Amino acid sequence: MDQNTPLTPAFPSRLPEVGTTVFTVMSALATKHQAINLGQGFPDFPCDLGLISQVNEAMLADHNQYPPMTGVSELRQGVAQKISALYCHQYDHDTEITITAGGTQGIMTAILSCVSPGDEVVIIEPAYDSYRPSIKLAGGKTIAVSLIANRDGDGSVNFYSIPWDDLEKAINPKTRLIIINTPHNPTGMVWQTSDLDRLWNLVSHTDALILSDEVYEHMVYDGCSHQSIASHPELAARSFLISSFGKTYHVTGWKVGYVAAPTVMSKEFRKVHQFNVFTVNTPMQYGLASYLKNAEHYLSLPAFYQAKRDYFIQGLEQTDFKLLPTPATYFQCVNYTSLNILQAKMNEADFCSWLTTEIGVAAIPVSAFYSKPVESGVIRFCFAKKEATLSSALERLQTLNKRN
Ligand code: GLN
């Protein structure tokens, strides 16, 4: 190096154990190898043109300057009405609902607003990969418990359930926050009313707060329903509820979500939010506020995605993958150790790389949702795709049967 090249001073990482998120890595690998991307969770079909027109109208009506810090009032009112209609809890749109730049920002801001150095935060793994680094940046300590992986006779994971005993052991006077995620990414597991009651039993005598990540709230199938934390009055009084318009309206790139929480919690949330993003793009908020008025736009989602899930499952049934149940979300988990190929012995990350580069279908290793190496032979496919995309992916996956 040239002696005169200016040097950057030593830059010790605040997150030395963190690399680039698996979703970005797998999407980049899919692009590089022109693979069909069933990895990162996002739709490959367009959003409703009606929604785009409503955003355009907002832009033409000159809604192009800063909106209120907490979000456009019409949108906050719409969110409050939706939650009240679906989950029977009335949030005050002025003091209890804040529009965020997507779910992930809402999660980090909520964590920064309540976790102090030394506080413990309980998460349930497999868990979305943003939780742990956000807790660390707040100075908190992550206490991870694992979902119980229930296995078939042949040892392959079949379904997951909540580890109540471990949760009970993990909660102590240092517990500041417990993060739950229902419907659950990546397993599709859904909390029932009795689960919320049980959680309440665990926390009622403590000061622990709850963060409930419900970004897949409108994707629950087979006639089942989502039980929001908002539907449990005692829990709602100590919870941040996080959701995302990107997931609900097929616009993940717009990065708009919201956080609902009691006034005292929202007040602290907003102190951080105002210096983090300050506010979220204005025309999108107006567009979403108009679009949200028609409940059909979210009430139709279960049927819409259930048809995609069923189509995908039918195709996967022609393969040797073992399918895990998918009661919710737009993710299908499969066990690949049942495949009669040498690669069935690979670890999940290597298998996903191989599947992307050699078979041309990208998936996400479920091991990426754990902090400690956990290998269950399970990978996640996203089925929020056009039928043509799913059909091409299935054709490729079906070739796995014939190998060896
Ligand atoms: N939640 C999305 C997923 O699980 C990814 C979001 C992201 O890439 N940050 O695929």
Rounded distance, CA 61 to CA 55, Å? Answer: 10
Rounded distance, CA 189 to CA 187, Å? Answer: 5
Residue 239 has pLDDT above 80, yes or no: yes
Cβ atoms of 158 and 165 closer than 8 Å:
no
SS3 label, residue 360: coil
* Residue the block writes with tokens 């943003």: 130
Adjacent-strand bridge partners of 378: 335
**Which of 105, 317, 353 is closest to 215 using CA atoms?**
105
* CATH 3.40.640.10 for the 49-295 domain, yes or no: yes
Rounded distance, CA 394 to CA 170, Å? Answer: 42
Q: What is the pLDDT of residue 1?
A: 62
Consecutive H or E run containing 392: helix 387-398
Mutate to test the pocket of ligand 1, among 24, 27, 29, 42 (most ligand atoms within 8 A of CB): 42
CATH number of 22-47+300-402: 3.90.1150.10
Average pLDDT, integer, range 67-76: 98
Query: What is the pLDDT confidence band of residue 3, given thresholds at 50, 70 and 90?
Result: confident
CA dihedral 136, 331, 247, 392 (to 10 degrees): 130
Check if 181 has its Cβ closer than 6 Å to any atom of ligand 1.
no
The pLDDT tens digits of the residues spanning 305-360 come to: 999 999 999 999 999 999 999 999 999 999 999 999 999 999 999 999 999 999 99
Residue nearest to atom 9 of ligand 1 (CA): 23
The whole-angstrom distance between residue 379's C-alpha and the CA centroid of its chain comes to 16
Instruction: Report CA(24)–ligand 1 centroid distance (Å).
Output: 8
Residue nearest to atom 2 of ligand 1 (CA): 41
The pLDDT tens digits of the residues spanning 89-99 come to: 999 999 999 99
Instruction: Tell which atom from ligand 1 comes closest to the C-alpha of 39.
Output: 10
Residue 171 has pLDDT above 60, yes or no: yes
Residue 156 has pLDDT above 70, yes or no: yes
Q: What is the pLDDT of residue 404?
A: 45
Cα-Cα-Cα-Cα dihedral sign, residues 56, 57, 62, 68 = negative
Mean pLDDT (the chain) is 96
Check if 28 has its Cβ closer than 6 Å to any atom of ligand 1.
no
The pLDDT tens digits of the residues spanning 106-115 come to: 999 999 999 9
Check if 23 has its Cβ closer than 6 Å to any atom of ligand 1.
yes
Rounded distance, CA 270 to CA 237, Å? Answer: 17
Q: What is the pLDDT of residue 401?
A: 81
Percent of all residues in the chain with a pLDDT value above 70, rounded to a whole number: 99
Of the CA atoms within 13 Å of residue 314, those in its CB half-sphere come to: 9
Strand pairing class (364-365; 378-382): antiparallel
Instruction: Report CA(261)–ligand 1 centroid distance (Å).
Output: 23
Q: The whole model's pTM is what?
A: 0.96
The pLDDT tens digits of the residues spanning 117-151 come to: 999 999 999 999 999 999 999 999 999 999 999 99
Instruction: Report CA(104)–ligand 1 centroid distance (Å).
Output: 9
Positions of CATH 3.90.1150.10 in the chain: 22-47+300-402
Rounded distance, CA 60 to CA 55, Å? Answer: 9
CA dihedral 350, 151, 144, 261 (to 10 degrees): 110
Positions of CATH 3.40.640.10 in the chain: 49-295
DSSP string for 24-50: HHHHHHHHHTT-EE-SS---SSPPPHH
Q: What is the pLDDT of residue 153?
A: 86
Check if 185 has its Cβ closer than 6 Å to any atom of ligand 1.
yes
Check if 41 has its Cβ closer than 6 Å to any atom of ligand 1.
yes
Instruction: Tell which atom from ligand 1 comes closest to the C-alpha of 186.
Output: 4
Cβ atoms of 183 and 219 closer than 8 Å:
yes
Residue nearest to atom 4 of ligand 1 (CA): 41
